């Protein structure tokens, strides 16, 4: 299916590895022109090369997402290069303290992850919105998480930041909708990748006295579809919401979690 993304200019934050790299390459294979925005620009070189190998034009911009002026400068550089910004995918974020109750979480730990997971997307949306408003069209996709839909004991700071990101999404959807701009959230659940295989599954195996393979199966059993999401599952959802195929969808939360958040 043609997603209508050929030659569209797509800005992606946090593109260097994992989910961000998978999302970047999914857009590359759709023929989009890519602006990869990251604090560590050097770390983006491998995914930039892969995107180029797929035939996509890709530039890398060094940017501290917590600095609004830096985000505005990145948007200006993209416009100077290509003259348009058609989509923004906010992937960059952090995990915050893991296994700490809200009482145990320090103020600094709370502030750090809330700033990263909320101010970064806020700054980038503010940076690209004027160009999208001038065009009368645009797509914005914020990558959240299912802990921002159901909450999670031991992950209060992270969960709070992702609940807040949903508020950012819905408010911008209302404000930017009259200008033809759709704003949505993709909410991944647990993603089968390095962190899951080296931390989550081994920890579950130790806790229950089972093998790591059994831990993977037990984790998958929490989901209606009985399988754990992959980076590509998340990437496909982002591509869809950034495409013309999703023209009538805005302010939505799309869980990509095999049914966990809905149960």
Tokens of 184: 């949505």
Helix, strand, coil in percent for the chain, rounding step 5: 50, 15, 35
* Sheet with strand 253-256: strands edge to edge: 58-62, 33-38, 9-13, 87-90, 138-143, 181-188, 253-256
223 tagged catalytic:
no
Element (H, E) at 12: strand 9-13
Of 27, 122, 158, 240, which residue is the catalytic one?
158
The number of angstroms, rounded, from the C-alpha of 167 to the middle of its chain's C-alpha atoms is 15
The packing angle between helices 45-53 and 18-29, to 10°, is 20
Q: Give the span between the Cα atoms of 114 and 121, in whole angstroms.
A: 11
- Secondary structure of residue 252 in the 3-state scheme: coil
Residues acting as catalytic residues: 158
């Amino acid at each position: 299916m043609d997603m209508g993304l050929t030659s569209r200019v797509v800005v992606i934050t946090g593109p260097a590895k994992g989910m961000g790299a998978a999302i970047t390459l999914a857009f590359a294979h759709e023929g989009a022109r890519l602006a990869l925005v990251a604090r560590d620009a050097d770390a983006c070189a491998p995914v930039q090369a892969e995107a180029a190998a797929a035939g996509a034009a890709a530039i890398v911009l060094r940017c501290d997402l917590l600095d609004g002026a830096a985000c505005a400068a990145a948007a200006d550089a993209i416009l100077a290069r290509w003259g348009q910004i058609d989509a923004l995918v906010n992937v960059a974020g952090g995990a915050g303290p893991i296994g700490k109750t809200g009482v145990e979480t320090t103020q600094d730990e709370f502030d750090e992850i809330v700033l990263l997971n909320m101010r970064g997307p806020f700054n980038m949306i503010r940076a690209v919105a004027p160009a999208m408003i001038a065009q009368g069209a645009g797509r914005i996709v914020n990558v959240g998480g299912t802990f921002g839909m159901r909450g999670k004991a031991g992950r209060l700071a992270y969960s709070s930041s992702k609940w807040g990101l949903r508020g950012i999404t819905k408010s911008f959807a209302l404000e930017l909708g009259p200008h033809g701009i759709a704003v949505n959230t993709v909410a991944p659940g647990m993603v089968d990748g390095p962190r899951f295989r080296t931390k989550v599954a081994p920890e579950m195996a130790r806790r229950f006295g089972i093998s790591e393979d059994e831990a993977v199966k037990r984790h998958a059993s929490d989901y209606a579809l009985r399988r754990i999401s992959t980076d590509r599952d998340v990437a496909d959802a982002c591509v869809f919401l950034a495409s013309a195929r999703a023209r009538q969808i805005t302010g939505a939360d799309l869980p990509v979690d095999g049914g966990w958040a809905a149960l």
